Amino acid sequence: MYTTDMTGKKTAQPVAEDPARVAAFEARVANDEFIEPKDWMPEAYRRTLIRQISQHAHSEIVGMLPEGNWITRAPNLRRKAILLAKVQDEGGHGLYLYAAAETLGVSRDEMTEALLSGKAKYSTIFNYPTLTWADIGAIGWLVDGAAIMNQVPLQRTSYGPYARAMVRICKEESFHQRQGYEIMMHLAQGTPEQKRMAQDALDRWWQPSLMMFGPPDDKSPNTEQSMRWRIKRETNDELRQKFVDITVPQAEAIGLKAPDPALKWNEARGHYDFGEVDWDEFWAVVKGDGPVAKERMQARRKAWDDGAWVREAARVHAVKRAAAKLAAE
Amino acid sequence: MADAPPPLAACALRLGDDALILGQRLSEWCGHAPAIEIDLSLANVALDQIGQAAHFLGLAGEIEGKGRDADKLAFHRDVMDFANCLLVEQPNGDFAQTVARQFLFSHYQELLYAALAESKDARFAAIAAKALKEVKYHATLASDWVVRLGDGAEESRARMIAGLDWMWRFADELFAADEIDAALGLDKAALRSAWDARIDAVLADATLERPAAHRPVLGGRTGRHSEHLGHLLSEMQFLQRAYPGAAW
Ligand SMILES: [Fe+2]
Ligand SMILES: [Fe+2]
Ligand SMILES: [Fe+2]
């Protein structure tokens, strides 16, 4: 998931903090109160949130690339406009989230530098290529669908600015999910070539989508603390199961098949059983070895480096105009 | 397309093609702009242009009466049948070049739509009147960037000058009048002085000079395009061409 802890390490132990303050903080959180920027918070909470929110923001921004790849080739004017608006929404999500993280005392430039240096992570899903138009459908349906599943509970997360950003974002993500599914539906009912395109996209995006929920619970060391802090409200495996249960019938409804021979409805559990996710692949991608990870980072670095003179011009111009205004007063 | 379209259809095609090609160009920036805010504003302009293109091309097809809709016109014509001005098909270049193109074009488009909104033809007037607010914003946005880059840092100033210099030779074509525009009662030449005044005012604010006069490059309206358009079309039209008859 955009927000899953992918560091795989235990968070550093907090510096010595007043136990009474910590207890009061924990009580407020347990009581489902919102923590606001001016409120006292444990340093580990602050750091964990910065990591989680900035990683989410980076995912939105890097996520513009695979879909942006098809805007200029969208098959008709309506699809072009919808896709352009969708990718623009993702940029907007990145902006709200950077702003939410900034309330914790980190600047957008610092976060951007962390992304570009490879220090900060972003969702593994965006390290896979978009090869055909059907990938645009698959991403909306599966990736935005998985994002919603993770983010709906975060609308009630303990940190106020993050929760409020999530409320705005979730509304748009559910549009994206429906639009993506609608693309898939059209393709699945289209010509044999289109149907093949749709199935191929599902075949390629299925496993990476399951990986979006992060490592299995027993390999997710920070889950317990994050749940207590209400910055995570359901475990990775719970969310993954929910995603499978919802998505499999959606695929069947349009005549597509999830690429998993172990997939089977389990009447006793009331859930689908499904095959083991390839976790070696997941950890390789987390480490930066995704198939197009280099391309994604190259594109972000190029945008940042090529844009340096523009951002500098805006800064210099603002200073000049402010000075001129002052002189005129 | 062997026969020339009726003049009113040709008018709508010009308007639609300008918007379509500019929208396509701007959408190339998506995800790659110098800052997220800029990315969002360029996408906004692109979206507006694509929306206008759908309306004008739809109208062109309707007037033509051969059963071609906006998509058919956008995705199934070749270079010689596109009627957009050469300015909008120019490559994005760096951000300053994109700004220069937008600046020259948006002021023209705003003046043009304001005139069209008063047209006797209610169909054109309705589309233009609705889009006028959008293109006003585009003109303001582009002007603000011309000023910021021109009266910004040394590098931005040099790039802004180079961008304007690249685009300037395509400005005259915007105001070239012919009998096709006359069919709609449009006098594009009459827009020139208002356009000049706007451009000069912004350039003055940006502490920039007007680029040196170039010999105008013309031909877009009659299908004589730059080499750039063919590449733009081959990318834009790929799916429709590769899968003829498929619905999306
Ligand atoms: Fe998003
Ligand atoms: Fe997303
Ligand atoms: Fe989304």
Q: If you write DSSP's letter for every residue of B200-238 in order, what string do you get?
A: HHHHHHTT-PPPPP-PPP--GGGT---HHHHHHHHHHTH
Ligand showing the shortest atom-to-Cα distance for residue A91:
1
CA of A298 vs chain B CAs: smallest distance (Å): 11
Identify the band that residue B42 occupies on the pLDDT scale cut at 50, 70 and 90: very high
pLDDT at A12: 54
Ligand showing the shortest atom-to-Cα distance for residue A93:
1
Residue B180, chain A, CB below 8 Å: the answer is no
Residue B32, chain A, CB below 8 Å: the answer is yes
CA atoms within 13 Å, Cβ hemisphere of B156: 25
Q: Which of A77, A96, A135 to mutate to test the interface with B (most CBs of B within 10 A)?
A: A77
Q: Which of B37, B51, B235 has its CB closest to that of A81?
A: B51
B76 CB neighbours in chain A (<8 A) are none
Residue linked to tokens 């690249």: B166
Residues 6+ apart with CB under 8 A from A3: A52, A53, A55, A56, A150, A151, A154, A232
Contact (CB<8Å) A87/B30: yes
Query: Which pLDDT tens digit goes with each residue over B150-167?
Result: 999 999 999 999 999 999
The closest alpha carbon to B92, from B40, B156, B54, B46, belongs to: B46
Contact (CB<8Å) B43/A91: yes
- DSSP 8-state secondary structure symbol assigned to residue A35: B
With contact defined as beta carbons under 8 Å apart, do A76 and B75 qualify?
A: yes
**pTM attached to this predicted model:** 0.95
Q: Which of B41, B50, B72 to mutate to test the interface with A (most CBs of A within 10 A)?
A: B50
CB burial readout A216-229, b (16+ within 10 A) else e: eeeebebbebbeeb
Contact (CB<8Å) A303/B70: no
With contact defined as beta carbons under 8 Å apart, do A5 and A120 qualify?
A: no
CA of B168 vs chain A CAs: smallest distance (Å): 21
Q: Which of B70, B239, B247 has its CB closest to that of A77?
A: B70
Q: Which of A54, A60, A80, A89 to mutate to test the interface with B (most CBs of B within 10 A)?
A: A80
pLDDT at A13: 57
ipTM of the complex: 0.97
Q: Is the pLDDT of residue B1 over 50?
A: no
Query: How does the average pLDDT of chain B come out, rounded?
Result: 96
Concatenated DSSP letters of A4-17: S--S-SPPPPPPP-
With contact defined as beta carbons under 8 Å apart, do B97 and B129 qualify?
A: no
Instruction: Give the chain A residue nearest B36 (alpha carbons).
Output: A91
Domains annotated on chain B, with CATH = 7-209+224-242 (1.20.1260.10)
> How many angstroms is it from A174 CA to the middle of ligand 1?
10
A74 CB neighbours in chain B (<8 A) are 239
**3-state secondary structure (DSSP) of residue A299:** helix
pLDDT at A5: 64
A87 CB neighbours in chain B (<8 A) are 30-31, 43
Contact (CB<8Å) B71/A76: yes
With contact defined as beta carbons under 8 Å apart, do A221 and A144 qualify?
A: no
Q: Which residue ranges of chain A lie beneath pLDDT 50?
A: none
Query: Which pLDDT tens digit goes with each residue over A250-280?
Result: 999 999 999 999 999 999 999 999 999 999 9
Query: Which pLDDT tens digit goes with each residue over A108-129?
Result: 999 999 999 999 999 999 999 9
